[in-house]
Amino acid sequence: MWNVTSAPGNTTQVSPTNSQLGVIIRTTFFVSVLVCLFFFAYLVTIILTVFFTKPSLRENSRYVLFAHMLINDVVYLVMTLYLAIITSYLPMRLPAHVCYAIVMLSSASYKVTAYNLGVMALERYVAICFPLRHSEFCTRQRSAIALVGIWAIGLIPNIADCIILSTSVPSSFFSLHVICARSAFMNTSVQTLIRNLTHILSFTLVGLIIIFTYIKIMMVALRVDSGKESAIKASRTVMLHAIQLFLCLMAFSNNLLEIYLMEYMYLLPLGSFFLFMCLPRFISPLIYGIRDEVFRNYIKRFMLCRQLRVHKIKIVVFKTVRCMVILVWYS
């Protein structure tokens, strides 16, 4: 089970040859995901280091939301990869209550990613359309309140799911050891209904917010009279929101693909997991981090300092080895 927010598909029978080929393809995909995760974690570490060491960035609501998105993406990727490993590569059973907590937290994190995009779009809308009141509306404290709010909204369906599950299974259920997949806890049709409605409403809400901000910012860009440079900056902001909408659509379209095409494509869970769940999060630092002038300058400085340190280490190692060779030679 690759996508912890989706319903499982039917398992099809394959020949030994196809099974071996499937294992090779799955392993290749998984190694690719781990490589991408390594570079993602490296870039996120640099960006978060810059964020937490620069007070001016911590006071800016735009960067607060961006840092939260990166942390949330890291949490989601770690949990989903862990579930992928223990269900597909190193099958093991976990205590039901531990597994349920991981699955529910993954599900909430999945929804919070979309909500965070919506809040970021609104922040950019205020910055472009109401620049004089941006510092009043978008403060660090209000950003923190917004983050608490989106996590509360993301957890409400999971709390309802927990209540329904607790009332529909015996108390001994949570002491069992189960394969950690979302399907292990889908015991009633009401749970499925809540999950589907949550995804539909979340997609609709975030989609409308981003489309609204896209149109408003585009109108400001077309009305701009302060010169070509201002119009270009506004249009770039609009393009950023278009990318945000695209990433949101990719994340939510994964559920539909697994529901309707699972019976026809053996490797669909793996492919959809990489393309729709991992890839959007891997490229988020590139879109929002490297594109940002502040982070880009700090990343360049960090990389330059790192190269200088590596060069100095090489020189020290070379001199040390040369001295050792000389000592051995004369001894």
- Burial label for 156, CB within 10 Å (0-12, 13-18, 19+), is middle
Mean pLDDT, residues 114-140 taken together:
85
Q: What is the reported pLDDT for 238?
A: 60
Q: In 130-267, which ranges are continuous DSSP H helix?
A: 134-137, 140-168, 189-223, 228-261
d(CA 328, CA 323): 9
Q: What percent of the chain has pLDDT over 70?
A: 71
pLDDT in tens, 243-264: 766 766 665 566 566 666 555 5
Distance, in Å, from the CA atom of 211 to the CA atom of 126, rounded to the nearest integer, reads 14
Residues 183-216: b if buried by 16+ CB within 10 A, e if exposed: ebbebeeebeebbeebbeebbeebbebbeebbeb
List CB contacts of 175: < 8 A, sequence separation 6 or more. Answer: 95, 96, 97
Q: pLDDT category, 328, cuts 50, 70, 90?
A: low
Phi and psi at 178, nearest 5°, equal -130, 160
Amino acid occupying residue 253 = S
Give the position of tokens 């529901």.
259
Structure tokens at 28: 């290749």
Banded model confidence at residue 270, pLDDT cuts 50, 70, 90: low
pLDDT band at 22 (very low <50, low <70, confident <90, very high): low
Q: Which amino acid is at 85?
A: I
pLDDT, mean over the chain: 75
Phi, psi dihedral angles at 109 (to 5 degrees)? -65, -35
275-301 per-position pLDDT tens digit:
777 777 877 787 777 777 777 777 777
SS3 call for 49: helix
pLDDT over 80 (residue 226): no
In this predicted model, what pLDDT tens digit does every residue of 66-79 receive, in sequence order? 899 999 989 988 88
